[in-house]
Amino acid sequence: MTVGRGDEDMADPGDRRTAGRPVSPPPAALPEGALDAIGTGAYVVDEQGHILAVNDHALELLARSREELLGQDAHDLLHRDGHGQPMPTSRCTMRPPFHEGRTAQGDGEHFERGDRTLLPISWLLTPYDLGEHGSGTLVLFHAQPEREAGARPGDTELPVPELDRLALLAETTTRLSSTLDVDEATHRLVELVVPRLADWAVIDLITEWDEVWRTLVVHADGDKLVRHEGLEGPMPPVPQESQMPLSRALRGVASTLAGPQTYNRAPDSGIAVEQRRLFEVTGIHSAAIAPIRSTREVLGALTLGRAQQTEEFTADGLPLLEDIARRAGLALDNARLYQRQRKVAETMQNHLLPQMPRVPGLEMTVRYLPAPDASHVGGDWYDAFSLPDGATALAVGDVVGHDLEAASGMAQLRNMLRAYAWGIEEPPSRIAARLDEAILHITDVSMATMIFARVETAEDGNWRLSWTNAGHPPPLLISHDGLVEFLTEEHGLLLGTGANLPRTDASAVLRPGSTLVLYTDGLIEEPGRTLDDGLHRLRRHAASLAHRRLPSFADQLLRRVRPAANDDDVALLVLRVPVRSRQRP
């Protein structure tokens, strides 16, 4: 590739095949399978020009292995002049669009193959969204025959329309595969095809109840996309015998051309009536309709219509529409699966987590934030319940793991803790010790961290907290004046080690206006940062929020402290001893 380090004007003339400098490992989520679907040589580079992913077509054209390419500076490794010499970066035609983040194409360049021969290429590059890993660039290239004497620089084996088609398909792949939200994916799909291919776009989707919903109707008004919600909404059922274009597409039959004349005859179904209305209201004179399929099922249909654009669709344009619809189907299927898994995870977690008791003289609120990855059903939990002697038990814990087994273990651990705490009037340390002895034998829990505490009124009228810590991040106590203290006393081993070491208790006074924060490590852990960094961030923001009402305190603490890059869930339990003076909202 012709983009990479730009500090020097001339690349080092030495052998570039092994000269790549150390780089971060490529993101695991890069869709290499999507690159293979492009149909020509393709690779993705990061913002520094290092290769993150490459498809099989590129490996074949370059006569190189994937290991030779990944992590290397693409410009240094590949780009040569017509004599096989390293190409100065100042003459690299890919560098300007690469740094400007725009789509561009060209030809007349050379890549060095693994056998040291030169490969004349035509190329196209376009921005590529790497999701949480930032932005990158997708490079497409195609072998180009050496020019004959007298040939013009613009002569290329790959005609401009074909390059435009590849650019559109590459952009479709990158934009749709970088979101896991169905609504966002449909809006991105419309933005890709309107007004580039048509001035109207209609998306009909089949719901999980096998109902058809006209999800999006958009047309181009100059540079603006205008949504027509009056044309959207539920659609009649799809008749199995209908040969009308939309009905066929929603059954997964091949793409079809259509026009107003298609629906002039008597309609064979309610869905045909809706299509006739669509043509009448929009003024579409030519349309192309393609099914949106996943690998498992038909998800819907994409209709492109031309009203202001005078050129009619032809059968030659249907393969491109089918390619776009196929990529849309894969992206929508992934988004639906993700949202379905996330809903199941959140529903399960919400049913497992308990309701908080009302304790006269105390305020209490809890929050649970699921992991961004829907498959990470977590083992984080909180609990609070009344004890027979009038005290209130508090607990926050984290079962090791991020799956359904961890969530199941969390429920077992919490229920056992409740049974021990209710049935045995002993200090928190003894309850935790009994729980530690039991989990190895009668639960599926391997290891877990936990804070277990009692809150009760003292003789002087204040509230007293006593607790034991089994390998968990320390509780945080904030005074009414904003003084912050981590309760680090008596920090013991986590549960499940089998060490059977003695556990001890600590205690503290909760004065009026003070706020106690119990939390799991998802609130403070951040990849690439130390735990002390997270604790310091928690301390600062908790102090600044000391006078907020408790629900606002909890919400803002989660929003400000939890790292954006964290893929763990968070359980949060906040308790406050109120004061008579009015708190700020």
Give the distance, in angstroms, between the CA of residue 388 and the centroid of all CA atoms in the same chain: 46
Query: Does the bond joining 195 to the residue before it have cis omega, within 30 degrees of 0?
Result: yes
The dihedral region occupied by 496, where left means phi > 0, alpha psi between -120 and 50, and beta the remainder, is left
- DSSP letter, residue 50: B
Q: Return the amino acid letter for 312.
A: E
Higher-confidence residue of 31 and 384: namely 384
pLDDT for res 14:
37
Q: How confident is the model at residue 222 (pLDDT cuts 50, 70, 90)?
A: confident
- What CATH class has 353-576? alpha beta
How far apart, in whole angstroms, are the C-alpha atoms of residue 375 and residue 343? 11
Instruction: Inform me whether the pLDDT recorded for 18 exceeds 50.
Output: no
What is the arithmetic mean of pLDDT over 559-575? 87
Closest CA relative to residue 520, chosen from 575, 471, 463: 471
**Which CATH superfamily, name and number, covers 179-342?**
GAF domain (3.30.450.40)
Instruction: Inform me whether the pLDDT recorded for 53 exceeds 70.
Output: yes
- Ranges 24-33, 174-183, 385-394: which has the least confidence: 24-33
pLDDT for res 286:
96
Strands (DSSP E) contained in 1-103 are 41-45, 51-54, 79-80
Sign of the alpha-carbon dihedral angle for 422, 402, 330, 335: positive
The CATH number assigned to the domain with range 32-166 reads 3.30.450.20
Query: Tokens 């015998």 correspond to what residue?
Result: 241
pLDDT for res 27:
47
Q: Mean pLDDT for the chain?
A: 84
Token pair of 140 as six digits: 């497409």
Same topology between domain 32-166 and domain 179-342: yes
Domain coordinates of the chain in residue numbers?
Answer: 32-166, 179-342, 353-576
pLDDT for res 377:
57
Q: Is 33 exposed, middle or buried (0-12, 13-18, 19+ CB in 10 A)?
A: exposed
**Do strands 286-293 and 298-306 pair parallel, antiparallel, or not at all (unpaired)?**
antiparallel
pLDDT digits (tens, 9 = 90+) for 379-401: 788 999 999 999 999 999 998 86
The percent of residues in the chain predicted with pLDDT above 70, rounded, is 84
Do the beta carbons of residue 123 and residue 106 sit within 8 Å? yes
How far apart, in whole angstroms, are the C-alpha atoms of residue 11 and residue 85? 10
How far apart, in whole angstroms, are the C-alpha atoms of residue 524 and residue 537? 8
